[in-house]
Amino acid sequence: MSTSTSEPTAVSLEEARELLVDLVSTPSPSGEERDAAKRLVEFFETHDREVWIDAVGNVRAPANDAVLLTSHVDTVPGEIPVEVEEAGDDEILWGRGSVDATGPLAAMAAAAVRTGVSFVGVVGEEENSRGARYLVGDREAPDAVVNGEPSGADGITLGYRGILSGTYVATSESGHTSRPDPNAIQHAIRWWTAVEATFEGAEYEPVFEQVTAKPVDVDGGTSEDGLSVEATMDVQLRVPPSLDVDSVREAAEAELEVGTVTWKDAVPPVMTSPRTDVARAFRVAIRAEGMEPRLLRKTGTSDMNVYAGAWDCPMATYGPGDSDLDHAPDERLSLAEFDRSVAVLECVAARLRDDA
């Protein structure tokens, strides 16, 4: 199917690199993606592609829907001086977002223009995937999806754990600390200790197959009026494909004796087959670039979880960069690897387009 038509247009590696450096040089933390979105629009308009910024800030460039190439525009906060460093036969781009996920974003934009397939740069992935959530409700499913996140030029990500996030709140009467009765802070600690024990993995069990329980923010103490002790704890649980979000939520609530927990977000895990047309196209393309494909499973959560929950089509995640550098103070990307990833994405998109 096709929501628009667009002829493939040449994009040089120099132009693709220029787009990458410009985007990395444009701060785009979640909620502040507008300037980077405008640079993407300019890139597509230069190549006579239909493009616009939608109601939530996504950059939409519809074309041949045999495959949708999509990555996120936003980055986490943090300033890293942008520079291109010589490294032997390679060059290294330093800067926030170079890996997560401006590298994949720029590579996909170049490949989408080269092959005439659909592209969307989504916003808010680092917070709540608001761009991806809006997208799945605002358009029909494409024939296939390639989501952009760092996998390395030779990696194909097929699975992500889901996420369950919530806030625990407890209140107790104030009193002298010598009293033996537990206060709200102790209740919070005891609940979370019990939750961690419930989901403790076996010694040799892969992390991907475990539930990882993490408190991400804690606040507690005597109330302003001095009459009570209060405790608030924001928590996250990563959910493997072997479980579902509801069962993890029920297990966490079963340990709740005092206080309440309000669940804010629930994103199911995803695990796709290595035998889909998308995965096969990536294996062919990666080998064509002289590399051996690696099949990956990520312990985090991405927009692919959102797409898999809404669209019944084959998908995978791909992009240049070492994911160990996600959000890191030394985030950097090999430009030679970026070039290879553009070639891989072009080959994948062309193959899926021609086979549609």
CA-to-CA separations, 352 to 6, 90, 140, in angstroms, rounded: 15, 31, 18
**Which residues are designated catalytic?**
74, 125
For residue 3, what pLDDT is reported? 45
Q: Which domains does the chain have, with CATH numbers?
A: 13-160+270-355 (3.40.630.10), 162-267 (3.30.70.360)
Q: Which residues contact 61 (CB under 8 A, 6 or more apart)?
A: 44, 49, 50, 51, 112, 118, 119, 120
Q: Indicate the angle between helix axes 102-115 and 335-355, nearest 10 degrees.
A: 40
Measured CA to CA, the distance from residue 170 to residue 279 in angstroms comes to: 47
Residue stretches of the chain with pLDDT short of 50? 1-3, 5, 176
Write the single-letter amino acid at 265: D
Measured CA to CA, the distance from residue 230 to residue 350 in angstroms comes to: 58
Across the chain, what does the average pLDDT equal?
A: 94
For residue 223, what pLDDT is reported? 80
Bridge partner residues of 261 (DSSP)? 168
For residue 7, what pLDDT is reported? 84
Measured CA to CA, the distance from residue 62 to residue 175 in angstroms comes to: 63
**Residues 121-151 as b or e (16 or more Cβ within 10 Å = b):** bbbbbbeebbbbbbbbeebebbbbbbbbbbb
Distance of CA 335 to the CA centre of its chain: 21
Contact indicator for 44, 61 with CB cutoff of 8 Å: yes
Measured CA to CA, the distance from residue 185 to residue 332 in angstroms comes to: 41
**Residues 156-183 as b or e (16 or more Cβ within 10 Å = b):** bbbbbbbbbbbebebbbebeeeeeeeeb
For residue 222, what pLDDT is reported? 86
Burial class (CB in 10 A: 0-12, 13-18, 19+), 49: buried
Q: Hey, what long-range contacts does 87-94 have (CB within 8 A, 24 or more apart)?
A: 87/334, 89/336, 90/334, 90/335, 90/336, 91/334, 91/335, 91/336, 92/332, 92/333, 92/334, 92/335, 93/20, 93/21, 93/24, 93/332, 93/333, 93/335, 93/338, 94/330, 94/331, 94/332
Measured CA to CA, the distance from residue 22 to residue 28 in angstroms comes to: 11
User: Whole-prediction pTM value?
Assistant: 0.91
Convert the pLDDT of each residue in 255-274 to its tens digit. Answer: 999 999 999 989 999 999 99
Quote the tokens at residue 43: 């890139």
